[in-house]
Amino acid sequence: MGSNDIPPPHVNSNYLLIHHLIMGTGGLLWTTTYVLMTRQSFKDKSYSMPLFSLAFNFAWEIIFALYVAETFLEKTVFVTWMLVDLGLVYAVLEYGKNEWAHAPVVVRHIGKIFMVSVMWWCCALWAICSWWVDPRNPVNPKEGKIYNGKVGPDTTELGWWTSLLAQVILSVMLLAQIVTRGHSGGASYSIWATRFFGSLIGLNGYYGYCWYVWPEAHGYFTNPFAVCLWITWVVADIAYLVVLRDVKTSEIVLKNGRKVRREAISCIREMAFSSDEDEDFKRAIAMSLDSSQASRAAPVIDLESDDDEDDELHRAIALSLQDNEKTELEPELGILRSNLEPTENPPFKYTKAKTSNKQATHNSVESTTTKTPTPRLVPGLSSLDRKSMEQQRLARLAKRKRSPSPDPPSKIVRKEKSPKELESNSALQFPHGTIKRTWAYKNARTNDIKLEEVLQAATLKIAVISAFNWEDEWLLHKLPPTKINQFWVMSCKGKELQDKWLADAAANEVPNRKIRFPPLDGQAQHMHSKLLLLSHPTHLRVVIPTANMIRVDWGETPSDWQPAVMENTVFMIDLPRRQDGEVGKKDDLTWFGKELLSFLEAQNIDPVVTKGVLKFDFSSTQKIEFVHSIPGHLTEQYSGRTGLPGLSTAVRRLGLDHVQDLQLDYATSSLGALKESTLRQLYRASRGERSLLINDTQSKVLENVRVYYPTNDAVAQSTGGPDCGGIITLGRKDYDNDAFPKSCLRQHVSNRPGLLSHNKILLARGCKQDGKPFAWVYVGSANLSESAWGSQRILKSGKEGKFTIRNWESGVLVPVADSAFEGVKSGEVPPLSVFKDTIEIPFECPGEGFGNKQPWFFRP
């Protein structure tokens, strides 16, 4: 614009040359800005330019390229910008869902909203431009200004007002965007620099020079309104730089590139160095943040029976049809959802009566780990247009099969197997229980198991799943909701946040899935339990893993070249249906069954689930114990049966008390403000002592307890490197405290080189007062922390204070068979080899002390 101007004699003869040089410099910087914005958007899985501003910008380039520009050079510049802007447009359409998860309507229609905005701006700009350069009556004509061979129409001033307005809108909306997001997704210092100086030179500098040398034609530059506008955008951009610097110091960066505001998790900073640190809570930040999907419950069959056509079943189905449950794990928590993007399973989204999938999670800081990462889990949630992708997938499937339409979800779930099929699947795989380590990609298979092998999805009817972090899209690929009814038990504190999660999920629908949030009142912090109840036509599989529902925890990776980075442990037992087909009574259950049912009842799980559990035979659990932690006001209600007192009670029920000598080896993935008093209470509970506060400070407890945790070198040299250490948490402040029992620490080294551990395993071995050796193992979700196991203190009055627990936890205590102690002398503590037929210990035990090595410290 202004290329054909004929300036008056008093104007410097180099006017046009300098004019082109300044404008060219600004244009080059803005072209660089567009490229950097596009690259950063793809890297962060976000978008850089606000949707409304991008629509204005794109429309401005269209109108000026096709209608206003005169010369070939001008047209080339505008068309080039249009083409470069296509990358920004793609980023909005591709990743806009990540930033608008709180507004489902926008998520569903973001493409339409953008197109309507562009069309509106095109109409508005065309109206202004056609009015401005009307050859019969141009706006504010000037001598020396030439347009289409006519003297008078001034496209330079037209460009000034329209581009200045676009700049003000962009700068103000960018400032609002970063303040609202609280993270720097799609932004960087280099983008700010090229954008700021591009506008400063190409707008303020260019028009300021024109005014300076040719004031009579460019007096609008000093118009009070114009001055207000160009000062406004400068101030807004400087403020933007201040905010950018601030959010970069506090944001959480997930391994898949997503960025999350730290403030979204109100207690994250407290968790990083609190005395009750919980690594899985941090993973959730990473988790879940990927994009959110939803769930509306379709007909759901209860756990009572897949075969019974009784009135209760009909009522359960009728009730479930009225439910509208939703969940969103992408957000502030992220959750955890490890942010590993599936390679074999493209993301897709549920719509009514169609299959789909939602991704939660990762990641977590548990996700942080998951880098693989980081996982970098997910949460979850992809920002692709899954609706259209799913429609295309279904169309391809129909074309291949050329078969009649499948039954709707409710009919698929209701279909029953023939007696012959049921008979062929009647054999129980683990009727007495087993402990296995999780499969790890690119590692030799030994006594391990894949998640698919755990789930047995081919015959699975109902799944009740508890976990702290989720990759729901990944999980739904393994558990098709059109065939399997699902209850997901998740961690979310506060009705407001719970309502938000459920409401945000309304945009998408996942059939046959219900979301449940156990009570988290008062001091209760997290639902950290990991538990699966898998109901098949022939049996109920009870699964107690140390792993969350994210791929990294189950040994999977997103790429063929990437080996597994994390390992966990799983306890499983298969319980047959009652032969009489009746619903049993809680009082008739084994202690394992009673405590499992009490745990479910305390979590307010649907009665159809707890009643369904009673249709299975628990007699094979007579010699094992379900150990749980129930937090908040419920702790007192279950006094003596939960937390450390519950562990003590379980030990006594199995006849493993009256201990003379005891050795403990505890592998944990998180250590908070560990104290000697905590270890003493754990030690007494493991002995089956009824009181945990006996003053026995003279006993050599610390010599008998070893805590396995990785060194900084071990994490750095692991398969995933430091980026995968996010779920392994210990605060430097806690470690440096004089009360921290450093002498108990041992180096955690996996038997599978390069793997990090998310295990929570307690190995106990000793001899009783009568000289008889014994050993048992705990596997579950509880880390070695007061949050997980609870604590009790002596009050100033000398009385015992209340026992307090902060997390929901679940685990199992499995004694070692007597046959393992052959050759062990009476009165001797048995060696670690006695565990070989009970659990394949996944780490080097006993381990080496830390010496001069530093432990791995959590990096937020």
**Per-residue pLDDT reduced to its tens digit, 403-459:** 333 333 333 233 334 434 433 344 699 999 999 999 999 999 989 999 999 999 999
| Measured distance CA(94)–CA(101) in Å, rounded | 13
Pick from 309, 620, 570, 303: nearest CA to 438: 570
| Average pLDDT estimate for 333-344 | 36
The per-residue pLDDT for range 166-213, each reduced to its tens digit, is 999 999 999 999 998 889 999 999 999 999 999 999 888 988 888 888
How far is residue 12's CA from residue 35's CA, in Å, rounded to a whole number? 35
Question: Distance between CA 764 and CA 772 in Å, rounded?
Answer: 14
Q: Is 755 helix (H, G, I), strand (E, B) or coil?
A: coil
Amino acid 250: pLDDT = 79
pLDDT attached to residue 834: 97
pLDDT mean over 24-35: 90
List, as residue ranges, the binding site: 530, 760
CA dist 849 and 852 (Å) reads: 9
Q: List C-alpha distances in Å: 845 to 33, 358, 538, 574.
A: 55, 40, 39, 30
**So what's the pLDDT on residue 139?**
85
611 three-class SS: helix
Q: What is the pLDDT of residue 795?
A: 72
Instruction: State how far the Cα of 433 lies from the Cα of 447, in Å rounded to an integer.
Output: 14
Amino acid identity, position 745 = L
pLDDT of residue 603: 96
Non-local CB neighbours of 293 within 8 Å, separated by 6+ positions? 328, 349, 350, 356, 357, 358, 359, 360, 381, 386, 472, 473, 505, 508, 510
- How does residue 776 score in pLDDT terms, banded at 50, 70 and 90? very high
AA letter at 588: D
Is 758 annotated as catalytic? yes
Binding site membership for substrate: which residues? Answer: 530, 760
Contact 459, 424 (CB under 8 A): no
State the chain's mean pLDDT as an integer.
81
Q: Looking at the DSSP assignment, which residues form a beta bridge with residue 267? A: none
* 442's tokens: 């690119």
669-696 mean pLDDT: 88
Question: Percent of the chain scored above 70 by pLDDT?
Answer: 78
- Of the segments 89-98, 304-313, 487-496, which one has the largest average pLDDT value? 487-496
Calculate the dihedral angle through the C-alpha atoms of 721, 726, 730, 736, rounding to the nearest 10 degrees.
60
Q: How far apart are the first and last CA of the chain?
A: 51
Q: In this predicted model, what pLDDT tens digit does every residue of 485-529 receive, in sequence order?
A: 999 999 999 988 888 878 776 566 788 999 999 999 888 999 999
Global confidence as pTM: 0.57
**Residue 472 in this model has a pLDDT that exceeds 50:** yes
What integer is the mean pLDDT of 271-298? 42
d(CA 459, CA 456): 6
Q: Could you tell me if residue 110 is left (phi over 0), alpha (psi between -120 and 50 degrees) or otherwise beta? A: alpha
Residue 73 has pLDDT above 70, yes or no: yes
Query: Which of 281, 175, 275, 285 is closest to 233 using CA atoms?
Result: 175
Evaluate if residue 609 carries a pLDDT over 80.
Answer: yes
Cβ atoms of residues 95 and 46 within 8 Å: yes
pLDDT tens across 803-836, in order?
Answer: 899 999 999 999 999 999 999 999 999 999 999 9
Residue type, 515: I
- Tell me the HSE value of 777 on the side-chain side, using a 13 A CA sphere: 25
Determine the average pLDDT of the residues in 5-16.
79
Q: Which two tokens stand for residue 5?
A: 């101007």
Q: Which of 278, 272, 275, 277 is nearest to 252 (CA)?
A: 272
> Which of 728, 283, 182, 264 has the alpha carbon at shortest distance from 526?
283
Q: Cα angle vertex 301, ends 300, 307, to 5°?
A: 155
CB 745 within 8 A of CB 711: no
Where do runs of H (alpha helix) occur along 200-339? 206-213, 224-248, 268-273, 279-286, 311-322
- Report whether 282 contacts 858 (CB < 8 A): yes
Query: In the chain, what are the helix, strand and coil shares in percent, each to the nearest 5?
Result: 40, 15, 45
Please tell me the distance from the alpha carbon of residue 788 to that of residue 631, in angstroms, as a whole number: 9
Q: Cis bond leading into 846, ω under 30°?
A: yes
Distances in Å between the Cα of 551 and the Cα atoms of 378, 476, 532, 565 are 10, 12, 16, 10
CA 263 to chain CA centroid, nearest Å: 15
302 pLDDT band (50/70/90 cuts)? very low
* pLDDT confidence tier of residue 282, bands split at 50, 70 and 90: very low
The one catalytic residue in 183, 218, 528, 748 is: 528
Residue 354 confidence class, pLDDT cut points 50, 70, 90: very low
What percentage of the chain exceeds 90 in pLDDT? 50
Question: Could you confirm whether 528 is annotated as catalytic?
Answer: yes
Tell me what pLDDT residue 255 has.
66
Given a cut of 60, is residue 385 above it in pLDDT? no
The two tokens of residue 649 are 């009670």
Cα separation values, 378 from 90, 126, 285, 338, 542, Å:
21, 43, 10, 5, 26
Give me the catalytic one of 19, 526, 628, 758: 758
Q: For residues 217 and 203, what is the distance between their CA atoms, to the nearest angstrom?
A: 16
- The pair of three-digit structure tokens given for residue 226, joined into one six-digit string: 């114009």
Residues 6+ apart with CB under 8 A from 798: none
What's the confidence (pLDDT) of residue 411?
34
Handedness of CA 475, 478, 480, 481 (dihedral sign): negative
CA distance 221 to 215: 9
Amino acid, res. 93: L
Report the alpha-carbon distance of residue 209 to residue 204 in Å, rounded.
8
For the record, the structure tokens of 425 come out as 């699947």
Q: Tell me what pLDDT residue 1 has.
A: 64
Q: What residue type is assigned to position 701 of the chain?
A: V
Strand partners, 572: 434, 543
Sorting pLDDT into bands at 50, 70 and 90, what band is 11? Answer: confident
- Give the Cα separation of 735 and 175 in Å (integer): 40
Give the range among 335-344, 512-521, 787-796 with minimum mean pLDDT: 335-344
Instruction: Evaluate if residue 270 carries a pLDDT over 70.
Output: no
- pLDDT at position 145 is 78
pLDDT of res. 756: 94
Reported as a pLDDT band with limits 50, 70 and 90, residue 219 is confident
- In this prediction, residue 3 has a pLDDT band, given cuts at 50, 70 and 90, of low
Top-confidence residue, 350 or 158: 158
User: Would you state the pLDDT for residue 506?
Assistant: 59
Which residue type sits at 83?
A: L
pLDDT digits (tens, 9 = 90+) for 537-588: 999 999 999 999 999 999 998 888 889 999 999 999 999 999 999 999 999 9
72 — alpha (psi -120 to 50), left (phi > 0) or beta?
A: alpha
Predicted confidence at residue 265, as pLDDT, reads 45
Is the previous residue joined to 249 through a cis bond, with omega within 30 degrees of 0? no
User: Per-residue pLDDT for 390 more than 60?
Assistant: no
Question: How do 745-747 and 569-576 pair as beta strands?
Answer: unpaired
Output the six-digit token pair for 32.
């660089």
What is the DSSP code (8-state) at residue 654? T
The pLDDT of residue 767: 97
661 pLDDT more than 70: yes
Are residues 533 and 519 in contact, defined by beta-carbon separation less than 8 angstroms?
no
